[in-house]
């Protein structure tokens, strides 16, 4: 029933193909905190990092706070960065840890989600797949439904979805960031898509009709 997405899709999410990471010599200069390299890094990564944070935290002021924390952390950690390694996983590992810190500081609500992940009991999410048409209409915006569906997912599933779909990271890279093997990440991504499809099922059907 579903057709595969166009890999060269357009939209607000950054395309993996369009992204050009810093060259090795630029990374060397970045490690030395050369202002030009910092500027280049910022231009390349700001939108990606902010977008990643914003999609996971959704609220603008929280996203700004956490994005700021991430860039400050990156600046402090640059001397310990190995220029021989890809920059992107390193950046998103820092970003993911900061977001995770934020979620954990919000108390037990997200803690419950985490425990659900650890116990493999991630089938009961906040967004019911059995939404009625009225409820969907009341949601007003489909993107709000998407956001709520993502919010309702366990932490690791949310992270995987956003890193994979919006940031274009490979499953192996995501696995290193979320500290899971590639197969587990692939499963979570697949389940995340399935949950989204269920949550938006009627909307998607209407769109198709």
Partner 1 sequence: MSSRPDSRDGLRAEPSAELARELDRFGAVTARAEFRETLRHHFVGGAAERPRRAAQPPSQVPAAARRQSWRWRLVGGSLAAAAALLVYIALFTTAYGGLRVNGELVARRVGPAELQRRLASAETIRTGSQPVRVRLGDAVLIEMEAESELDLTRARLASQAGPLILEGKAGRFRVATGPAFAGTVGKLSFHAPFARIEVTGTVFGVDIEAAGTCVCCTQGSVVVNCPLGLWGPHEVGCDKSGLAGDGGFENLTRMDPEHERGLRRLQTYAW
What's the closest the beta carbon of residue 98 comes to partner 1, in angstroms? 14
The tokens describing 80, both together, are 């310990």
Number of residues forming the site for partner 1 (CB under 8 A): 66
Contact 25, 128 (CB under 8 A): no
Nearer to partner 1, 115 or 133 (CB): 133
- Answer whether 150's CB lies under 8 Å from 113's CB: no
Long-range pairs of 183-190 with CB within 8 A, sequence gap ≥ 24 = 185/160, 188/156, 188/157, 188/160, 189/157, 189/160, 189/161, 189/164, 189/165
C-beta of 103 vs 189, nearer to partner 1: 189
Cα 85 to Cα 28, 42, 164, distances in angstroms: 11, 18, 19
Report how far apart the first and last C-alpha atoms of the chain are (Å, whole number).
12
CB of 3 to partner 1, least distance (A): 5
Q: Please list every residue from 149 through 208 that binds partner 1, using CB under 8 A.
A: 150, 165-166, 168-171, 173, 183, 186-187, 189-190, 193-194, 196-197, 200, 203-204, 207-208
Q: Which pair of tokens denotes residue 33?
A: 């905190």
Name the segment binding partner 1 (CB under 8 A); options: 48-56, 90-98, 99-107, 117-125: 48-56
Residue of 22, 30, 44, 51 interacting with partner 1 (CB under 8 A): 51
What whole-number distance in Å separates Cα of residue 209 and Cα of residue 195?
21
Residues of span 80-139 touching partner 1 by CB under 8 A: 86, 88
Task: List interacting residues with partner 1 (CB under 8 A).
Answer: 1-7, 9-13, 16, 19, 21, 35, 38-39, 42, 46-47, 50-51, 54-55, 59-65, 67-68, 71-72, 75-76, 86, 88, 142-143, 146-147, 150, 165-166, 168-171, 173, 183, 186-187, 189-190, 193-194, 196-197, 200, 203-204, 207-208
């Amino acid at each position: 029933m579903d057709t595969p997405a166009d890999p060269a899709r357009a939209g607000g999410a950054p395309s993996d193909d369009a992204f050009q990471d810093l060259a090795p010599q630029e990374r060397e200069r970045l490690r030395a905190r050369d202002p030009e390299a910092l500027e280049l890094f910022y231009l390349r990564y700001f939108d990606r990092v902010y977008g990643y944070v914003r999609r996971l935290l959704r609220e603008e002021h929280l996203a700004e706070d956490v994005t700021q924390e991430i860039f400050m952390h990156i600046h402090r950690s640059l001397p310990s960065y190995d220029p021989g390694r890809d920059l992107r996983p390193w950046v998103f590992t820092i970003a993911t840890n900061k977001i995770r810190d934020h979620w954990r500081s919000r108390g037990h609500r997200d803690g419950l989600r985490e425990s659900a992940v650890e116990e493999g009991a991630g089938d009961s999410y906040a967004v019911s797949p059995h939404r009625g048409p009225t409820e969907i209409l009341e949601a007003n915006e489909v993107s709000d439904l998407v956001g709520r569906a993502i919010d309702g997912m366990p932490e690791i599933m949310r992270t995987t979805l956003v890193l994979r779909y919006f940031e274009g990271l490979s499953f192996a890279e995501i696995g290193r960031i979320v500290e899971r093997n590639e197969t587990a990440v692939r499963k979570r991504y697949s389940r995340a898509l399935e949950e989204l499809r269920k949550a938006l099922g009627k909307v998607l059907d209407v769109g198709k009709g």
